[in-house]
Structure 1
């Protein structure tokens, strides 16, 4: 019961905080924050506590495959929105995610997933840099129901993923862990409110943060059995944050 309360409390609070940060400091920061392994960290923590360490370790390869599929989905969305409207682009991107995640989970492996994810991250960073730059003076219209809807969506997906874990198995549960439940609403709303410039900034930030997510999962795989869930998740999150900040700073200077 305590874990249930944690899920219902922590997830919406994180979504609320990231949404406010994106409003205050822009889509790039929102993308960076949503790209960090926040949802993934929560899922892996609850999987370890509820299903055991071995189950969580078995979910890591699937999670990295899911991460590669997420990056492919962003690339699909960016390209699709150049040809079709927002709603068809979202549907196409989600369909593409399902196909890509299935392919990585069933025919890929950890090394393939990491390699493909890094290549796609590079493509997204390069592509987003060629999109229009956000107008820092423009003030997009914010609707009162946006943040509550994001909070409910994030919490619902976390509940579904962890509740069905024993039935789905570690591979599929891992694949669902990196689903961008926080980043997707942020990106779509940024696109609606700020146009392609806002969307591109969100995608760029999320792609940079995804490098930290890869480091997070590799650290979990290496440390979980030796250190336990608490220390492992803490160290993996610190590593992800430091790597993301360093990469963002390097790209800003470039």
Structure 2
């Protein structure tokens, strides 16, 4: 099995599983799962295998800059949708992401990106907590049969584009695109359409909590990739991400 076939199999299966989990157990769990560095781990794994570990390490600062831009985009979307409809807010949020990602990648540095990402994570957790709670008694809108397949296709297509253009983009731009929430964004928008602001805010909250784990993933990867190899570094990075995400979610729930 080639890497091309692996991408075609793994990415849509992940989107399918997270979509079903979100439908069954709620938006917060879906947000937590999609907020974990699943897409980032896939992109970084493929970059390591196709371009080499030096290329992947060069992509880490850009990835953290991209992560800060992702949190800025969620913040923009959360507040913009108080005044705008979903469609214009999504388009403006995507444009905002491009500007923010370029600014963080070319005008910032590793530590600034981490600091801004953590600040925005705090803003998102606080702001989403002030949104109305989902009405558990309300009857949810009927799911369309094409919704999950559309999410699967969009996630797979973007992953293929990012990894296929890595040579042309270079490590900085490839890293900047790695944390694009190709799984989370469709989930957030579909949650907004299906459940209103309450469902969207719950999904955004889960993604913000998961982003703390994403930061840990990249830092572990940067520290261990050369010394311990691809498999161990990415596995340990994912383990740290899961532990931090679960711990933070539990602490916020108790609070």
TM-score normalised to structure 1 length: 0.99
Structure-2 residue corresponding to 1:208: 209
| Aligned counterparts of 1:84 and 1:3: Cα–Cα separation in 2 | 41
Q: Deviations over 1:60-89 (max 9, x none)?
A: 000000000000000000111001111111
The within-5 A match list for 1:107-186 is 107-138=107-138, 139-186=140-187
Gaps of 5+ in 2: none
Structure-1 residue corresponding to 2:225: 224
Gaps of 5+ in 1: none
| Aligned counterparts of 1:128 and 1:50: Cα–Cα separation in 2 | 39
Structure-1 residue corresponding to 2:22: 22
| Aligned counterparts of 1:45 and 1:135: Cα–Cα separation in 2 | 40
Displaced runs of 4+ in structure 1, greater than 4 A?
Answer: none
* Structure 2 residue 79 is matched with structure 1 residue 67: no
Tell me how large the CA RMSD over aligned residues is: 0.7
| Aligned counterparts of 1:2 and 1:121: Cα–Cα separation in 2 | 37
Structure-2 residue corresponding to 1:55: 55
Deviation for aligned residue 1:140: 3.0
The within-5 A match list for 1:73-112 is 73-112=73-112
Q: Deviations over 1:199-250 (max 9, x none)?
A: 0000000000000000000000000000000011101001100100000000
Structure-2 residue corresponding to 1:194: 195
Structure-1 residue corresponding to 2:33: 33
| Aligned counterparts of 1:129 and 1:90: Cα–Cα separation in 2 | 21
| Aligned counterparts of 2:136 and 2:102: Cα–Cα separation in 1 | 39
| Aligned counterparts of 1:158 and 1:110: Cα–Cα separation in 2 | 24
Q: Deviations over 1:17-42 (max 9, x none)?
A: 00000000011110000000000000
| Aligned counterparts of 1:45 and 1:85: Cα–Cα separation in 2 | 37
| Aligned counterparts of 2:170 and 2:118: Cα–Cα separation in 1 | 26
TM-score normalised to structure 2 length: 0.99
**Number of corresponding residues:** 254
| Aligned counterparts of 1:102 and 1:13: Cα–Cα separation in 2 | 30
Deviation for aligned residue 1:168: 0.2
Structure-1 residue corresponding to 2:45: 45
After alignment, is 134-143 or 193-202 more displaced? 134-143
Deviation for aligned residue 1:123: 0.1
| Aligned counterparts of 1:148 and 1:86: Cα–Cα separation in 2 | 21
| Aligned counterparts of 2:44 and 2:230: Cα–Cα separation in 1 | 9
| Aligned counterparts of 1:13 and 1:74: Cα–Cα separation in 2 | 25
Deviation for aligned residue 1:136: 1.8
After alignment, is 129-138 or 155-164 more displaced? 129-138
Structure-1 residue corresponding to 2:242: 241
| Aligned counterparts of 2:91 and 2:141: Cα–Cα separation in 1 | 24
Deviation for aligned residue 1:141: 1.9
